[in-house]
Structure 1
Amino acid sequence: MFAIFNSPSPDPHPLPLTNSPWPTLLILGVYALFVLKLGKLYMQKRQPYNLRKLLMCYNLGQVAYNGLFFGITFYYLVLRQISDWRCMETFPQGHQHKNLERYVHYAYFINKILDLLDTVFFVLRKNYRQISFLHVYHHIMMVTICYGIMRFYGTGGHFNAVGMVNSLVHTFMYFYYFLSAANFGFKIESIWWKKYITLSQLIQFVLIFIYASYVLLFSPNCGFPRCLLLLQLLQAVIMMYMFGNFYLKTYMRTESKAAQPAQGHKMRRD
């Protein structure tokens, strides 16, 4: 099964963690074992750790990381338009923007590995209800897909647009997490835009689905692998379903239940 990794890397000078699959598989294996089993066993007879200061630094760092990533990709893709949006292929070796593409894609890959700490912090704080299938699946798939693209296709290409949109959403998401950890004297539930973070995550997958569909249908001569576009469509559908289901359960049904007692009270008064 691993013989496929004997094929030469598209990058003649692979960056750390991108050539061999074993480091990435080891990271994901340890992650899955810890958050699903070993971490809970370790915390079984322990009190939740107070990670407030650590979480403040981590979340603020993620805000800066994702915000900077979005700014760079937006500048080059939207303002300078160094790629054709109808067909974004990886730049050939020697292209003036090749190193920029390599390091930006690699920075996104490293950020997806850092995102795994979200779940580790949940375990150490005993917030097990937040460790859903959606949460774990999303984190593992993002790391796996980022690695697979770099190893078998190369850096950048069509997925630059995906990273740009995703980093914008994560900038606001981690800012919300920072406010939650900082506890500035107000209830985090009072932040009116809380539910719109989940909605923005849902919208990003809708946009990704539409964009991949456009390239498939209207750019038949595009050199970007169609199998990767189909994979992106499949993942977008899966995530739309999962995030849509989460949004309905968390916000729509909760608001509906909250409105029912108020209506009942009004009817009794009448």
Structure 2
Amino acid sequence: MDSNVFEIFYRAPADPVLAKNMPMTASHWPVSLLLVGYLLFVLKIGRIFMEKRKPYNLKNIILVYNICQMIYNAAMFSYAVHFIFVNTTYDLLCMESLPHEHPFKDTERWLTYIYFLNKVIDLLDTVFFVLRKSSKQITVLHVYHHVLMVSAMHWVLRLYGVGGQYMMMGLFNTFVHTVMYFYYFISAMYPELKSSLWWKKYITRIQMGQFILLFMQAAFVLLFNPTCQFPIFLQYLQLSQSSVMIVMFGNFYYHAYIKPKHQKQQ
């Protein structure tokens, strides 16, 4: 393996405060092992474990989980709106990570870190699916999205630092997840209403909308503000992964809502 790869893999986090004070960011090992364990459980071990067992009744646990996730994401969204737009912390045409001496640097660190922790907590979604034997919900899109969010967040934190342009991703994503977990809470609390919750499909539209906006943000900076110091690799990462997610969510939306409607009309 190239020595430069070793250097990237083992280098200290770009922000020294992360290495000193915040668990799961000082080393690559906790997140790497967590994701390996997640994939093994979701794709193999969990299915073997549940093969001869009845689905677990996790209604109360899931209700608590959903309401906590809704509050968690709503709080992050509200604070991010204040941080970005009320405090006008960033130049919206070029959102770079704040310098270490900036008065809002600690706020930027903690907002980024608690968002990262929330992506780790999101992995429980799939664990619940396995234990409830809801295998149809464990799609390629679902697993890919969860693994991507945790691994990408971790490596961006380690190699680039906190905040910056990806703060806008957190803003959009926390709004989407606030709505999504509210839907999950209502449908778990009142399962008889699940089929009548007409706005479910609009959650997928909002999810696609966030990736379209993120694609446009990166494209704008690359085309019209090339002097921006937000790393070009991360710009292209944002472009590529936004494109992938638009296609994957678009495919899900087509098969879940458009195709069945056309089949009924035939």
Give the TM-score of the pair, scaled to structure 2: 0.95
Q: Residue type of the partner of 2:14?
A: P
- CA shift for structure 1 position 76: 1.4
The answer to whether 1:210 aligns with 2:216 is yes
Paired with 1:182 and 1:75, the residues of 2 have a C-alpha distance of 32
The answer to whether 1:91 aligns with 2:98 is yes
1:258 is aligned, of 252, 255, 264, to 264
Paired with 1:20 and 1:76, the residues of 2 have a C-alpha distance of 28
* Partner of residue 230, structure 2: 224
User: What value does the CA root-mean-square deviation take over the aligned residues?
Assistant: 1.1
Moved more, 210-219 or 157-166: 210-219
For 1:59-87, what per-residue CA distance to the aligned partner results, in whole angstroms no more than 9, with x for missing partners?
00000000000000011112221110001
Paired with 1:39 and 1:259, the residues of 2 have a C-alpha distance of 39
Paired with 2:265 and 2:62, the residues of 1 have a C-alpha distance of 34
- CA shift for structure 1 position 4: 1.9
Q: Is the 8 A contact 1:169 1:200 kept in 2?
A: yes
2:55 is aligned, of 48, 53, 56, to 48
Paired with 1:172 and 1:82, the residues of 2 have a C-alpha distance of 26
Q: Residue type of the partner of 2:220?
A: Y
**Based on CA coordinates, which of the two structures has the bigger radius of gyration?**
1
- CA shift for structure 1 position 200: 0.7
- State the aligned residue count: 259
Q: SS at 2:17's partner residue? A: coil
1:4 is aligned, of 8, 11, 17, to 8
For 1:18-58, what per-residue CA distance to the aligned partner results, in whole angstroms no more than 9, with x for missing partners?
12100000110100000000000000010000000000000
Q: Is the 8 A contact 2:12 2:26 kept in 1?
A: no
The answer to whether 1:169 aligns with 2:171 is no
* Partner of residue 127, structure 1: 134
For 1:94-117, what per-residue CA distance to the aligned partner results, in whole angstroms no more than 9, with x for missing partners?
210100000000001000000000
The answer to whether 1:188 aligns with 2:194 is yes
Q: Is the 8 A contact 1:69 1:167 kept in 2?
A: yes
Q: SS at 2:16's partner residue? A: coil
Residues 180, 2 of structure 1: alpha-carbon distance in 2 compared, 3 angstrom cutoff: farther
Paired with 1:140 and 1:88, the residues of 2 have a C-alpha distance of 25
Residues 178, 224 of structure 1: alpha-carbon distance in 2 compared, 3 angstrom cutoff: same
* Partner of residue 89, structure 2: 82
Instruction: List runs of 5+ in structure 1 lacking aligned partners.
Output: 261-270
* Partner of residue 268, structure 1: none
- CA shift for structure 1 position 2: 4.0
Give the TM-score of the pair, scaled to structure 1: 0.94
The answer to whether 1:240 aligns with 2:249 is no
Residues 125, 2 of structure 1: alpha-carbon distance in 2 compared, 3 angstrom cutoff: farther
The answer to whether 1:30 aligns with 2:22 is no
Q: Is the 8 A contact 2:66 2:185 kept in 1?
A: yes
Q: SS at 1:13's partner residue? A: helix
Q: SS at 1:87's partner residue? A: coil
Q: Residue type of the partner of 1:90?
A: S
Paired with 2:238 and 2:196, the residues of 1 have a C-alpha distance of 35
Q: Is the 8 A contact 1:5 1:20 kept in 2?
A: no
* Partner of residue 265, structure 1: none
Q: Residue type of the partner of 2:142?
A: H
- CA shift for structure 1 position 175: 0.5
Q: Residue type of the partner of 1:12?
A: P
The answer to whether 1:140 aligns with 2:140 is no
